[in-house]
Amino acid sequence: MGPKSRMTLVLVLLGFVLCLFLERSGLLSAYVLQISMYVGINIILTLSLNLVNGYMGEFSVGHAGFMAIGAYVSSIITVRVFHNQMGPLVFPLAVIVAGIVTAATSFVVAFPSFRTRGDYLAIVTLAFNMIVKSVLENIDALGGPRGFMGMGRLTNLANVYAWCLVTIFVVRNLVYSNFGRAVLSIREDEVASNLVSVNTRQMKIMVFLIAAFFAGIAGALFAHVMQFINPRSFAIQKSTDILVMVYLGGIGSIFGSVLGATVCTVLLELLRPLGVWRWVVGPIMLVVLMICRPTGIMGLKELIGLIPREERVLVKKEETDVVTASN
CB within 8 A of 5, min separation 6: which ones? none
CB of 166 to other proteins, least distance (A): 10
Give 158 or 174: the residue with its C-beta nearer to other proteins: 174
CB of 194 to other proteins, least distance (A): 4
CB of 148 to other proteins, least distance (A): 33
- Cα 216 to Cα 45: distance, rounded to the nearest angstrom: 9
Give 16 or 179: the residue with its C-beta nearer to other proteins: 179
Give 119 or 319: the residue with its C-beta nearer to other proteins: 319
Residue 29's Cβ-count burial label (10 Å; 0-12, 13-18, 19+) is exposed
CB of 215 to other proteins, least distance (A): 18
Ramachandran bin of 227, using left for φ above 0, alpha for ψ from -120 to 50, beta for the remaining angles:
left
Cα distances (angstroms) measured from residue 30 to each of 15, 46, 88, 222, 228 = 19, 24, 20, 16, 17
CB of 171 to other proteins, least distance (A): 10
Element (H, E) at 175: helix 157-175
CB of 185 to other proteins, least distance (A): 5
Contact predicate 124/60, CB 8 Å: no
Give 140 or 310: the residue with its C-beta nearer to other proteins: 310
Give 138 or 177: the residue with its C-beta nearer to other proteins: 177
Contact positions toward other proteins, by CB under 8 A? 170, 173-174, 177-182, 184-185, 187-189, 191-200, 206, 300, 308, 310, 313, 315, 319-320, 322-324, 326-327
Give 141 or 191: the residue with its C-beta nearer to other proteins: 191
Contact predicate 95/220, CB 8 Å: yes
Number of Cβ within 10 Å of residue 25's Cβ equals 8
Give 57 or 147: the residue with its C-beta nearer to other proteins: 57
CB of 115 to other proteins, least distance (A): 12
DSSP code for 115:
S
- Cα 42 to Cα 45: distance, rounded to the nearest angstrom: 5
Its sign, for the CA torsion 106, 109, 115, 116, is negative
